[in-house]
Amino acid sequence: MDRGSRSVTHAAGWLGEQSSAELCSPVLIVKRIALARVDLSSEKAMQYGIAVALESAGIPFEREHRLSNEDIPDFLIPCPHAPTQWIAVE
């Protein structure tokens, strides 16, 4: 995975076994990140570890997406069942 990638990363399995209610669940996303071994020695290392965890779980995301001049979340996760809804992870 490219640490500087800003494009949406799609991984197989996001739809997988999840019900439609779980497809865009913040709880599911937090659980996937919590299960990962993430290097917390620096912000860049942590973001890389989270990106790997999301990709491994099959959760698509976009890095450093500018929402406004002040708001640029580390990860923006689209809801597969609701294309106009996203979850921002900072």
Contact 48, 1 (CB under 8 A): yes
Q: What is the pTM of this model?
A: 0.70
Judge whether 14 lies within some domain.
no
Mean pLDDT for the chain overall: 78
Burial 51-61 (b: 16+ CB within 10 A, else e): bebbeebebbb
Judge whether 46 lies within some domain.
yes
Q: How many structural domains does the chain have? A: 1
Region 18-38: mean pLDDT is 77
Judge whether 5 lies within some domain.
no
Contact 34, 89 (CB under 8 A): no
Judge whether 10 lies within some domain.
no
Contact 81, 24 (CB under 8 A): yes
Euclidean distance between CA atoms 55 and 84, whole angstroms: 21
Taking alpha carbons only, the member of 54, 47, 90 closest to residue 71 is 90
Judge whether 17 lies within some domain.
no
